[in-house]
Amino acid sequence: MIPVSYYLALSAILFTTGMFGVLIRRNALVVFMSIELMLNAANLSLVAFSRLYQTFHGQIFVFFIMAVAAAEVAVGLALIVTIFRSKQSIDLDQMNSLKG
Amino acid sequence: MENTAGLFFYLVPLIVFAPLAGMLINMFLGPKLGEKGVGLVASLASGTAFLTAVLQAISLGQHPEGAVVRLADWIHIGQLAVDWAFRVDTLSVTMMLVVSGVGTLIHIYAIGYMHEDVRFKNDLPRYPRFFVFLNFFIIAMLTLVSGNSYMMLFVGWEGVGLASFLLIGFWYDMDTLGRPSLANANAAKKAFITNRVGDFGFLMAAFMMFWKFGSTDFDLVFAKVAEVAAHEPWVILWITIFFLVGVAGKSAQIPLYIWLPDAMAGPTPVSALIHAATMVTAGVYLITRSYPIYSLSHDAQYIVATVGAVTGLFAATIAVGQYDLKKVLAYSTISQLGFMVAGVGMGAYVAGMFHLMTHAFFKALLFLSAGSVILGMERGHHHLPHGDHHEVFDPGDMRNMGGLRKTMPVTFWLYIIGTLALMGLPPFAGFFSKDEILLDASLHFPHVYWILTAAAFLTAFYMGRQIWMVFFGEARHAAAAHAEESPLVMTAPLMVLAALSIFGGFLNFPGLHQFGGWLAHTLGEVETPEFSLVVAGVSTLLALAAIGLSWWLYGRNPLQVGQIDPLKKPLGLLFTGMENKWFVDEGYQLVVIQPYKALAKFLAQTVDWDFWHEWFHDSVIAKGFVGFTRFLADPIDLGLIDRVSYWLSDLVSASSAALGKLQNGFVRSYALSIVVGVVAILGYLLLNAK
């Protein structure tokens, strides 16, 4: 059986990849995908611990996260589409009209 | 028998309440009663008081120990308990009899006197007021003599002072000659203020008494006096000295006698009643009443006797140089009061009280006769042709008189009786009483004897001078030639007083000493010195010599119109001094009044206005306040408080500007700060996990 540390390492790599994607990329769609990547990294570690402790709590939690992520994707994509229509761009650095 | 006699003691409050009723009736109904009604009510009120006093005397005949009749509580504070109580003993009843008796006679006389006085002065509505004041005086004087404590005595003491003030200033809007002026009002003020000085002494003595004896009741004080004298003799001395100051004020002794001659501005019945017969003797009564205190201090006795004797001589010298009929009598009164004070000061209480009584008779007689003379002159002046009325005419100036024995025979004889009594010729009343004082002085205080004998010589001289000037010779003014005799309502009381002046001396006949025995019930054992033919003979011979001298100077060659006094030439400056009252008033003006006014002006102008208002208020308070507010405004408010608040606001705006930069609107930078924060927290936890 593969030790849980492997899963956790993979999860950390995925999370870090997503995090840098969010921080570095300016394309809203790519940032969006990076967020999904971070969510799934968290899901992966939840499932890994669930298996380690032989309980279902973590897996049930993952289902909730996937449901919420699906809803989030629906709203997020809709927002991106709307922004694109008004600005003809999905560059995040141009979306700064809320600054103080 | 003895029960019924003792009952009269409980009537004693009537001596105050009867005159009070008379005063109230005249006060509210006076204008409606008419002159006769007012006079009748007032005289009846005073007469009732006299009757009550007589009843007290009858009761005392049965119970010579007397009684204390308590009427009401007055002051009860802590230890101090002063009741309104009447003291009936032989001393107080003697005073009651003299005051109410002479008072009643003078009330009757005043009915006639004021009837004419208000007409000469053209102010009829003032008639009832006079009798209200006169009744008020009787109330106060009887309160004074009947009180059972020094506090009650003081109530009367102040009351008679007020009555004196009101009556001296009775014609407050004119002078003695009826011209519009403040002279009478000023005389009243002088009397009142001078008496205030004396009252200060009285109060100090009363306070000391309360302090050291714990009470002002006569019995309680006298019970402790020997004990206090043994431990603290200075207390006794100071009480007696302070009382002497009070006596000097009320009984017109040196140095406070100056008010009495001016008090002659009052109507003549007032001069007779208040300023000769009764009120001014209050001081003599006070010393007699305080005999247990005075007897314990030989120093005090020496001082009092000397003050009295010196006053007696000093006032007599002034009387020699006066031209006003009443002024001569006024200085004579001061002189005779000096005799009394000297008498009681020496411890000859009976002699002093005896002289007080006889003096009340003959001096009242003299004053009232003088009033009769003055009114007679006024009447004579009134009959003159109208052209003469505009000149200033002084009906009391002896230089305007002369030859009045022919026009006013009744008054003349009455005046002669009073004069002989005052001169101290036997068998008139003054002889016996004055002789007793001289006798006592010759035994105990020789210097007092010599001073008083000289005063007695001068007394006979100035009275002789007066008689020759007023009643003998030729009239020196048309008014004197036309003078008219006074009505019976005025002369009748004078006849009673004349009878008392003749026979009053037998009340204490040498050898019998009835009066001394009577007072001994109150004063304890009294000394009754043997009658001395030498003392009596010397004073009688001196009086006769003085009469002869006065005849030689004034009777042999009567004064002519405009002639200067025959004494002026031989005595020179000495007579100028007598004429001008030894410049004592001017001296007071210089030594007391002007410095006092200067002090008052200094306090008002320099201290109060210049220093306090101008400098202190403006410079210290106003400027200090302005400076303080400026200090609060500039350094404190602007410099500190405002600066702190500006600094706070600057801090807020600067920090907000700095923090505002963080919110740049870039989502990725927010995310980065979250990452940095999470990494920091996780890093911290990891590093501290071990």
Tell me if B665 and A19 make a contact (CB, 8 A cut-off): no
Which residues from A are below 8 Å from B655, CB to CB? none
- Quote the Cα angle for B31-B33-B36, to 5°: 115
Nearest-angstrom CA–CA distance, B108 and B110: 5
Domain ranges of chain B: 587-672
How far is Cα B360 from Cα B46, in angstroms, rounded to an integer?
Answer: 17
What three-state secondary structure class fits A25? Answer: coil
Angle in degrees, CA B181, B183, B185, rounded to 5: 100
Contacts of B516 (CB under 8 A, 6+ apart): B350, B354, B508, B526, B528
Cα–Cα distance for residue pair B325/B396, rounded to 1 Å: 5
pLDDT tens track for A20-31: 998 888 888 998
The CA distance from B163 to B152, in Å, is: 17
In the A/B pair of chains, how many CB contacts fall below 8 A? 29
Q: Which DSSP helix (H) or strand (E) runs through B86?
A: strand B80-88
Contact A95 B668 (CB under 8 A): no
Chain A residue closest in CA terms to B673: A23
Q: Does A80 touch chain B (CB under 8 A)?
A: no
CA nearest to B664 within chain A: A99
Cβ within 8 Å, pair B665-A23: no
Q: Do B665 and A96 touch (CB under 8 A)?
A: yes
Identify the pLDDT of residue B177.
80
User: B379 exposed, middle or buried (CB, 10 Å; 0-12, 13-18, 19+)?
Assistant: buried
Q: Sign (positive/negative) of CA torsion A13, A19, A23, A26?
A: positive
CA distance A47 to chain B (A): 22
Q: What is the pLDDT of residue B164?
A: 94
Distance spanning both ends of chain A, measured CA to CA: 53
Nearest residue in chain B measured CA to CA from A97:
B665
Tokens of residue B679, six digits: 């990494």
- Total number of domains constituting chain A: 1
What pLDDT, on the 0 to 100 scale, is given for residue B386?
59
Q: Which residues of B fall within a CB distance of 8 Å from A96?
A: 664-666
pLDDT of residue B516: 84
CATH code of the domain containing A32:
1.10.287.3510
Residues from chain A that touch B668, judged by Cβ atoms under 8 A, are 22-23, 26, 31, 92-93
C-beta atoms of A98 and B660 within 8 A: no
Arithmetic mean of pLDDT, A8-19: 94
- The token pair at B255 is 């140095």
Rg (CA), chain A: 17
Nearest by CB: B660 against A92, A97, A100 = A100
CB distance B671–A22 less than 8 Å? Answer: yes
Q: Which of A19, A26, A92, A97 to mutate to test the interface with B (most CBs of B within 10 A)?
A: A19
CB contact under 8 A, A93 and B671: no
Residues of A in contact with B666 (CB under 8 A): 92-93, 96, 99
In a domain, A38, yes or no: yes
Cross-chain Cβ contact B666/A97 below 8 Å: no
- Decide: helix, strand or coil at residue B558: coil
Report residues of chain B scoring pLDDT below 50.
1-2
**Cα nearest neighbour of A99 on chain B:** B665
Q: What is the pLDDT of residue B391?
A: 67
What is the rounded average pLDDT for all residues in chain A?
Answer: 89
The confidence score (pLDDT) of residue B390 equals 58
Q: What's at B676, amino acid-wise? A: V
- Does A80 reside within a domain? yes
- B663: distance to nearest CA of chain A, Å? 5
Separation between Cα atoms, residue B392 and residue B179, nearest integer Å: 9
Phi, psi at residue B498, to the nearest 5°? -65, -40
Provide the 3-class DSSP secondary structure of residue B85. strand
Residue-number span of the structural domain to which A16 is assigned: 4-92
Residue B228 pLDDT: 87
Using an 8 Å CB-CB cutoff, list chain B residues near A93.
Answer: 666, 668
pLDDT digits (tens, 9 = 90+) for B388-418: 555 678 888 888 888 888 888 999 999 999 9
Q: Is residue A98, in this structure, part of any structural domain at all?
A: no
Separation in Å, CA of A99 to nearest CA in chain B: 4
**Does position A97 have pLDDT exceeding 80, yes or no?**
no
Q: Which helix (H) or strand (E) holds B407?
A: helix B404-407
Smallest CA–CA separation between A22 and chain B, in Å?
7
Tell me if B209 sits within 8 A of B150, measured CB to CB: yes
3-state per-residue secondary structure call for B21-75: HHHHHHHHHHHHHHHHHHHHHHHHHHHHHHHHHHHHHHHHHHCCCCEEEEEEEEE
CA torsion, ordered B144, B147, B153, B158, to nearest 10 deg: -50
At which residue do the structure tokens 């009427």 appear? B71
pLDDT at B1: 38
Please tell me the predicted confidence (pLDDT) of residue B2: 44
Taking the alpha carbons at both ends of chain B, their separation in whole angstroms is: 129
Sequential DSSP letters for B366-404:
HHHHHHHHHHHHHHHHHTS-GGGGGS---TTBGGG---H
Q: Write down the pLDDT at residue B396.
A: 85
Closest Cα partner for B316 from B334, B296, B298? Answer: B334
